[in-house]
Structure 1
Amino acid sequence: MSDETGPRRRSLLDLVERVGDRLPDPVFIFLWLIGVLVVASIVCAALGVSAVNPITQETLVAKSLLEPGNVRLLLTEMAKTFTGFAPLGLVLLVMLGAGVAERVGLLDSAIRTLVTASPRRLLTPMVLVIGLLSNHAADSGIVVLPPLAAMVFAAAGRHPIAGLACAYAASIASFAGNPLPGQFDALILGFTEPAARLLDPHWTANLAGNWFFTAAGCLTFTLVGWWVTDRIVEPRLGPWEGPRSLGDDDQAPDAAPRGALLWAGLAALGVVLLWAALTLLPGAPLRDATAQGPAQWTPFFRSLITAFFLLFLAAGCAYGIRTRQIRKDSDVVRLAADSIAAMAPYIVLAFAASHFIAMFNWSNLGAITAIKGAAALRESGLPLPFILMGVTVLAAVLDMFISSASAKWAALGPVVVPMLMLLGVSPEMTTAAYRMGDSSLVIASPMSAYFILILGFAQRWKPGLGIGGLLAVLLPLGVAFFASALVMTGLWALFELATGPVAPFHYVIVAHGG
């Protein structure tokens, strides 16, 4: 049976690879979507398609994107459409600080220190937790942690590829299982905001809107990953009889100068204490004393994006000064500029995505599709947990073809978010369901941008290991994380839990117009 299944599995993977390789860059995917949107707007306008927005009570009529008013909007407001794109400012602000911390080596050093300080008995859960925290180091966590975890596992007499696999799985799952809000929350919820505003122009994103959900995801993925790694992945690999380390040229980088991490920690603590004072002292500007209940803390949650920017910047500068990588003020400017330069592909993607979302809005097709889709779902009688689990499945399937989480959400959000708002589901909950699908099954996908990199790391310990061999190691983790993601999304919806502070499960439709 195994002889027959092997070729069949390889053919399926070859097919997926061929299909994925033929897809254009995400920027051009958005350009094609804009072309489809233009055609759809012309047809729907000619047919007189319309719907009533239950929030504003406005009758929405489909408008052709080639009518003079929309063409004028496109050509005269292009700069405003681009610079007014909510995720762009949020992400660039965080990266100004996080980029400095990353480029002086603070984030890599912190990850190395945490991994090497882990007790051997708790090595697997510690690697998983650090991997889930590595989201704050952006994609560098995926690059730094897996090879380091492999070395630590080997040094402990355990199979290095098991360490590599669980670190990689955790780094990918960190986009949905992070215990603390960070730059990815700003990115993904920044895309949610314009999608929600297609129906409710007053809705604003809350950086901590998925905090409770992702913290629970961290616990879930840690427990599941621990069991799968120790009970399935490592036993299948067998006992490690190879070297306890690689050659000297492959060792982890030298430890940071003594006290550098302490300086960074003290700087970060200073920012935390400052924010506590700005929030808790009498008359503090980050608490709205005129509001009632949890709404008092809205300014605090809205300020978290600035807090993370300053925290990363202060810690990065302290670390850089101690390690002598920052000797003058121009060094800070250079490091920040380098981090923004690295965001150039995202900025180009944001240009295309911002116009796709804006044109969706101008044509009214996003809101009309959402209203009619919500009505169809309501009539189907499908329970909300199954609908949200469907969002998770859809995100996981699309991950096989489009690796960019922001690109997928920018395309899906304008339809899925308002559609579920009309069914009483908050934009935060819909975003959480999407994140679960985007951060699970892709672990075992050869279409992932990092799959070949991880294969290269694995081949250093096991020369000759192929794609199928690596997939056999990663598949149990990917499937287990996907199954737990589905269960968690369904249970969260079943019990209608809040996804974060001031982020209830339900969205209450309030009419803003007559």
Structure 2
Amino acid sequence: LAGLAICFAGVSGGFAANILLSTADPLLSGISQEAARILNKDYIVTPVSNWYFMATSSILIVGVGTFIANKITIPFLGDYKGDVPRSQLINLTGEEKRGLLWAAVVTLFLILFLVLGLVPIDGYLRDPASPDVLHSAALKGVVAIIFLFGALPGLAYGFASKTFKGQNDVMNAMQDAMVTMAPYLVLVFFASQFITLFNHSNMGLILAVKGSEMLKASGLGSIPLMLGFILLTVVLDLVIGSASAKWVLMAPIFVPMFMLLGISPELTQASYRVADSVVNIISPLMSYFPLILSFAIKYEPRAKVGTVIALMLPYSIGFLISWSIMLLIWMGMDLPLGPGAALKYLAP
């Protein structure tokens, strides 16, 4: 159970903390951009807008998670007395090793392709009109890059290990993968309709203006506002598990509202991601929570929902406090959240 709790905390509790970009980055930044355009039609929120902060956060999450595991989880659970046998590691076959080798080779070629295209001032992935990495083709097409880094090494492994024997095998694998994407596609369809209707109704603009006037009158600074926003997100996360679904509801209101107070959409998004991540591990509405519970029952038949929540609560509280403090320090030092992503918004 200790290993289960530690892994769950690292994967879901630190969901937003990644050294590399994840699929959540373009998804949330796209929603943030549409919300920001309620006020500024030309505003761009890039998928790397929180990269610096989230990459640094991964170090924090590892440190805090390790401390909680050693000081709380492992001593609390003690030695395992169950009768589930230790799982045996199975050695890789020669074909699997060959597949991994070719996947690594393809990955290295992709990295080399990016380096040669971005590092030279006249690199082929830079915009000749503005040879700045922030305006490069690579940054604008980061979704395609994530796709290539997943697809090409996967194809290399599949054919080298003989898992794929032809194009039909590839198509069947893609079809099986798309089945898991069905809920996301349904969500995106209704999310796009909601944002469009919200924009046409001007409700976002009205709420942003009225809300910003109230917050200005209160005299609260950016730090208390972000703390309040984090706490609100934590409460909502207990009843709405999906990060994207929740952001679709919150972004059209809070992003333009905070923009009128001089807070950038990137900072609002970073605050949201902090709050959303830390509650995942204690919310039964989280999509993987039933899976974690089923694994817990395997080793402890008496395990219930409350058992998992009790195990994960120290991580949730520890991550929330430490991550919020880190965000406040980041704001105090006025550090960029990502390439070209400032903390403050200046109206054009």
Contact kept? 2:198, 2:204, Cα under 8 Å:
yes
Q: Which residue of the other structure, out of 250, 272, 276, is the alignment partner of 2:111?
A: 272
CA distance, structure 2, for counterparts of residue 329 and residue 298 of structure 1: 33
Rounded to whole Å, the distance in 2 between the matches of 1:432 and 1:376 is 23
Deviation, 1:486, is 2.1
1:335 to partner: Cα distance: 2.2
Q: Does 1:405 align with 2:243?
A: yes
* Displacement after TM superposition at 1:450 (Å): 2.3
- Tell me the equivalent position of 2:6: 166
8 A contact 1:190–1:205 mirrored in 2: yes
Aligned partner of 2:23 among 171, 175, 183:
183
User: Is 2:102 the partner of 1:263?
Assistant: yes
| Contact preservation (8 Å) 1:177, 1:221 | yes
Query: Deviation at 1:336?
Result: 2.4
Distance of 1:423 and 1:287 partners within structure 2: 34
Aligned-partner SS, 1:440: helix
Equivalent residues of 2:103, 2:157 under 8 A apart: yes
Asked if 1:324 is matched to 2:162, the reply is yes
User: Secondary structure of the equivalent of 2:220?
Assistant: coil
Change (3 A) 1:244 1:343: closer
Question: How far off its partner does 1:445 sit?
Answer: 2.4
Give SS of 1:232's match.
Answer: helix
Given that 1:424 and 1:508 are in contact with CA atoms closer than 8 Å, whether structure 2 keeps it comes out as yes
Distance 1:370 1:253, change over 3 A: farther
1:195: Cα distance to partner? 0.7
- In the TM superposition, 1:211-226 aligns within 5 A as 211-226=51-66
Residue in structure 2 matching 1:448, options 270, 283, 286:
286
Distance 2:134 2:276 in 1: 33
- Specify which of 212, 215, 223 is matched with residue 374 of structure 1: 212
How far has the Cα of 1:323 moved from its partner? 2.0
5 Å matches for 1:108-123? Answer: none
SS of 1:199's partner is: coil
Q: CA RMSD in A?
A: 2.1
Residue in structure 1 matched with residue 253 of structure 2 by the alignment: 415
Q: Distance in 2 between matches of 1:191 and 1:253?
A: 43
Shift of 1:405: 0.6
Does the CA contact (< 8 Å) of 1:426 and 1:506 recur in 2? Answer: yes
Identity among equivalent positions (%) equals 36
Give CA-to-partner distance per residue, 1:321-347, whole Å, 9 cap, x none.
122121112322332233233211111
**Correspondence for 2:141:** 303
- Provide the residue aligned with 1:364 in structure 2: 202
Residue 149 (structure 1) aligns with: none
Distance 2:118 2:239 in 1: 44
The answer for the alignment partner of 1:194 in structure 2 is 34
Which residue identity does 2:214 align to in structure 1? A
Output the CA distance in 2 between the equivalents of 1:308 and 1:335: 18
Note the alpha carbon deviations across 1:302-335, whole angstroms, 9 max, x for none: 1222211111111100111122121112322332
Report the CA distance between 1:242 and its aligned residue: 4.5
Q: In 1, distance between residues paired with 2:168 and 2:346?
A: 50
Q: What does residue 291 of structure 1 align with?
A: 130
Instruction: State the 1:244 CA deviation.
Output: 8.0
Structure 2: tracts of 5 or more residues without a match: none
Write the distance in 2 (CA, Å) between the matches of 1:437 and 1:215. 16
Question: Contact 1:187–1:406 (CA<8 Å) still a contact in 2?
Answer: yes
Distance (whole Å) between structure 2 residues aligned to residue 224 and residue 166 of structure 1: 11
Name the CA distance, whole Å, in 1 between partners of 2:204 and 2:77: 49
Mapped to 1, the partners of 2:269 and 2:136 lie a distance apart of 19
Give the structure-2-normalised TM-score.
0.92
Decide whether the 8 Å contact of 1:385 with 1:489 is kept in 2: no
For 2:75, the aligned partner's letter is P
1:99-110 to structure 2, matched below 5 A, reads none
- Which of 1 and 2 has higher RCO (CA within 8 Å, sep 6+)? 2
Secondary structure in 1 aligned to 2:61? helix
Partner of 1:493: 331
- 2:3 counterpart SS class: helix
Matches of 1:253 and 1:460, distance apart in 2: 21
Distance in 2 separating the partners of 1:425 and 1:325:
50
Q: Is the 8 A contact 1:210 1:428 kept in 2?
A: yes
Task: Give 1:385 deviation, angstroms.
Answer: 1.2
Length-normalised TM-score, structure 1: 0.64
Task: Provide Cα deviations, 1:231-258, integer angstroms capped at 9, x if missing partner.
Answer: 0111011133446844xxx656764622
CA–CA separation in structure 1 for the residues paired with 2:9 and 2:253: 29
- Structure 1 pair 338/326, CA: closer, same or farther in 2 (3 Å)? same
Structure 1's 421 and 295: CA in aligned 2 closer, same or farther, altered over 3 A?
A: farther
Q: Residue 133 of structure 2 contacts residue 139 of structure 2 at CA under 8 Å; is this kept in 1?
A: no
Counterpart CA distance in 1 for 2:308 and 2:138 is 44
1:355-391 Cα distance to aligned partner (Å, 9 max, x none)? 1110111111111211221222122111101211222
In structure 1, the residue matched to 2:44 is 204
Contact 1:441–1:481 at 8 Å: present in 2 too?
A: no
Q: Which residue of 2 aligns with 1:233?
A: 73
CA contact (8 A) 1:295 1:502 kept: no
Please name the residue that 1:466 is paired with: 304
Matches of 2:21 and 2:158, distance apart in 1:
24
